[in-house]
Amino acid sequence: MNFNKFNTVKTIYWELDTMVKCPRCGYENNDISVYCENCTYPIKNPQTANSNNKKDNGWNISTGKKIAIVLGIVVIALLLFSFIYNSTQHDNKSSLNVISADEKVQEGSNYPYQAHIIYNGTWSGKVGDPNYIREVSGRGDESYNLDCAPWDKVTMVIEKSDGSSNELKIELLKNGNVVAENSTTSSTGSVVINYNY
């Protein structure tokens, strides 16, 4: 067997690749060699040699640190969302009824809406926030302070109870100014106002 041909081919192959000198004997080895081909001295750490020359892109952070970073970002985002949400909500304390010990509804002084019913006869209906509607009835002209905050929807539905052809007129006032009104002269008529601030 002719070993010279093999050594010539091996030398040509090595010349194509980068060569690494052995720190012990000075023999030039192929850069992919883990051990010196002359003296078997370790040229590279076998664990790093198997990593196929992975590039360090600066993001070699352990999985635990990555999870901690992601959780930190999520917590900060939730806190920020909570702050923004709470700062944009209306103060709903002023739109709640206060019930006294004798079970009477006490209306607060900060409610801006009033319902005026103007009719020379008997009537009945519903007024207030559609979610907390209040039933009313009476004879003749009446006014009601509505348990609605400035941002609430307001509904008024009043109908005649006596079958008269007199005019039934309703007005919705906000801070003393008429913001909506409606009327009817029909004997079985009802009048409706739906007001969105």
Report if residue 95 sits inside a domain: no
Report if residue 79 sits inside a domain: no
For 62-80, the pLDDT digits (tens) are 888 889 999 999 999 999 9
Q: What pTM was computed for the model?
A: 0.44
Report if residue 43 sits inside a domain: yes
For 17-32, the pLDDT digits (tens) are 578 889 899 899 888 8
Predicted local confidence at residue 31, as pLDDT: 81
Mean pLDDT for the stretch of residues 84-90: 77
Q: Mention every residue, 6+ apart, whose C-beta is less than 8 A from residue 18.
A: 30, 31
Mean pLDDT for the stretch of residues 58-62: 68
Q: Give the phi and the psi of residue 27 in degrees, each rounded to 5.
A: -65, 140
Alpha helices in 19-105 (DSSP H): 46-49, 63-88
Report if residue 84 sits inside a domain: no
Report if residue 28 sits inside a domain: yes
Q: Find the angle CA(113)-CA(119)-CA(121) to the nearest 5 degrees.
A: 135
Q: How many structural domains is the chain composed of?
A: 2
Report if residue 2 sits inside a domain: no
Predicted local confidence at residue 187, as pLDDT: 83
On average, the pLDDT of the chain sits at 78
Report if residue 132 sits inside a domain: yes
Mean pLDDT for the stretch of residues 161-182: 89
Whether residue 191 sits in one domain with residue 117: yes
Q: Find the angle CA(83)-CA(87)-CA(90) to the nearest 5 degrees.
A: 140
Q: How confident is the model at residue 94 (pLDDT cuts 50, 70, 90)?
A: very low
Mean pLDDT for the stretch of residues 169-193: 89
Predicted local confidence at residue 19, as pLDDT: 83
Predicted local confidence at residue 46, as pLDDT: 54
For 96-136, the pLDDT digits (tens) are 454 445 555 554 456 788 899 999 889 999 998 888 888 99
Mean pLDDT for the stretch of residues 134-162: 87
Report if residue 56 sits inside a domain: no
For 96, the token pair is: 């709640």
Predicted local confidence at residue 108, as pLDDT: 47
Q: Give the phi and the psi of residue 43 in degrees, each rounded to 5.
A: -90, -40
Predicted local confidence at residue 159, as pLDDT: 92
Q: Which domain does 38 fall in, by range?
A: 17-47
Predicted local confidence at residue 176, as pLDDT: 86
Checking if the pLDDT of 13 tops 70, the result is: no
